[in-house]
Amino acid sequence: MRKEVAHVLGLDIERVHIRGVEVGGGFGGKSKVCEQEAIAARLSIATGRPVKICLDRREEFISGKTDHAKRIRIRTAVDADGAILARSASLQIDNGAYTAYAPTYVGASRQRTVCLYRVQTAHYDCDLVYTNKVPGGQYRGMGAPQTIWAIESQMDAIAARARPRSAGVPAGPGQPDRRCDPAGLAHHQLRAGRMPDRSRAAHRLGREAREPRPQPRRGHRRDDPPQRRVIYEEGNYSNTRIELDASGLFVVHTQTADAGTWQNTTLAQIAAEALGVTSEQVRVSHMNTDAAPADLGSAASRVAFVTGNATALAAQALRETMAAALALRWDCAPADIVFGDGCARHAAGGDRSATPAQIAALCGALSAEAK
């Protein structure tokens, strides 16, 4: 939103400030601003007054983004062993009206045609049709659900008609298999080695051994989440800053938004574990561009992993900052200070310990940032 509002208004991005509010569930529509936000910003500048957007339920459905309807035709060639020799995908996508993000959506849909199975040769063509309907948008798995459903349905039909290879022939148990897909992107996959004896495993679990449920036999599949293949212009990154405020509360600053996914709880738990405190001692401040460092935002189910790792790194950096500050006052090495049970203490024991509030009073406000 910040980037696109700045573009529409002709402003430097640093002049646009966003402060998020709790919005409840919003599982989609996070990659592109809706038109009304930019219109509200323009009206506010023109009138010199705040502008509030109020939508009733009908207007919400009309003005909000939905996924794109599609017609999909897929042709796949396999050999006698089940190897996928070629796949051709032809799509017609109903774009709706008034959206500039459509070319990226087409690219995302194309990526789904080769990222789930090893395909030797691939063809993709698409007609993006603008219609007098509700504009399409990035609605949960951008370009993925219908395309993957079509591919999986066809793979079921192929598996029913032909006998695919069992699992491929790996170089050996646990050996990596490195190949490129038709787009030239390499993937790495570790093959599982010999399964442990079921009787011994069941005995250790206190259960009876059971025969495994037979699995459908399909073409060789690889573990490569589709969202990894969507290339963001800025790169798939997150920045997080954590500060210890004067009251002893740890505040996690992030430009990602909690759209009903409980990400704030997740980030607070990650920070708390790394800092050696309880999650009640951590508050997450999300979508406040005045306080949080630059970030790609909430998209593609990436927050728990990407922003979570940035939060863990920032928490570790803050621990080191607090240890260095306390070491100067306790006349010891930073490595002598340990964190846990909600406080910092000298490893040798004694009365040298401090709660977060005492650390803030002793050392002042501290913060650390990580990407």
Domain locations in the chain as residue ranges: 2-63, 65-228, 240-370
Question: What are the strands, taking DSSP E only, across 131-228?
Answer: 176-180, 186-190
Residue 250 one-letter amino acid: F
- The CA distance from 307 to 256, in Å, is 8
Mention the CATH class of domain 240-370: alpha beta
Cross-strand bridge partners of residue 72: 91
- Residues with Cβ within 8 Å of 319's Cβ and at least 6 positions away in sequence, in order, are 274, 275, 276, 339
Task: Provide the b/e sequence for 81-119 (b: ≥16 CB within 10 Å).
Answer: ebbbeebebebebbbbeebebbebbbbbbbbbbbbbbbb
- The CA distance from 320 to 368, in Å, is 9
- The CA distance from 114 to 222, in Å, is 11
Query: Tell me, what's the pLDDT at 291?
Result: 85
Query: Tell me, what's the pLDDT at 263?
Result: 86
Query: Tell me, what's the pLDDT at 294?
Result: 82
Q: 0.75 exceeded by the pTM? A: no
Query: Tell me, what's the pLDDT at 211?
Result: 47
- Residues with Cβ within 8 Å of 57's Cβ and at least 6 positions away in sequence, in order, are none
Query: Tell me, what's the pLDDT at 217?
Result: 38
- Residues with Cβ within 8 Å of 173's Cβ and at least 6 positions away in sequence, in order, are 191, 192, 193, 194
- The CA distance from 131 to 66, in Å, is 14
Here the contacts of 2-6 (C-beta below 8 Å, separation 24 or greater) are: 2/289, 4/32, 4/33, 4/38, 5/33, 5/37, 5/38, 5/41
Query: Tell me, what's the pLDDT at 100?
Result: 65
Query: Tell me, what's the pLDDT at 222?
Result: 36
- Helix, strand, coil percentages (3-state) for the chain, rounded to 5, are 35, 20, 45
Query: Tell me, what's the pLDDT at 235?
Result: 67
Query: Tell me, what's the pLDDT at 24?
Result: 60
Mention the CATH class of domain 65-228: alpha beta
Domain 2-63 is of which CATH architecture?
2-Layer Sandwich (3.30)
10-residue averages of pLDDT along the chain (371 residues): 82 84 60 74 92 86 78 92 90 83 79 82 91 78 84 90 48 44 57 46 49 42 39 72 94 85 89 93 88 78 86 95 93 92 86 91 92 88
- The CA distance from 295 to 303, in Å, is 11
Yes or no: say if 235 and 269 are a contact pair by the CB < 8 Å rule: no
Task: Please tell me if the domain spanning 2-63 has the same topology as the one spanning 65-228.
Answer: yes
Query: Tell me, what's the pLDDT at 179?
Result: 59
Yes or no: say if 9 and 42 are a contact pair by the CB < 8 Å rule: yes
Grouping H, G, I as helix, E, B as strand and the rest as coil, residue 159 is: helix
Helical packing angle, 145-161 and 102-112, nearest 10°: 20
Query: Tell me, what's the pLDDT at 31?
Result: 57
Provide the pairing of β-strand 186-190 with 337-340: unpaired
Q: Which two tokens stand for residue 6?
A: 């700045």
At 331, phi and psi to the nearest 5? Answer: 55, 55
**DSSP code per residue over 88-112:** EEEEEEEEESS-S-HHHHHHHHHHH
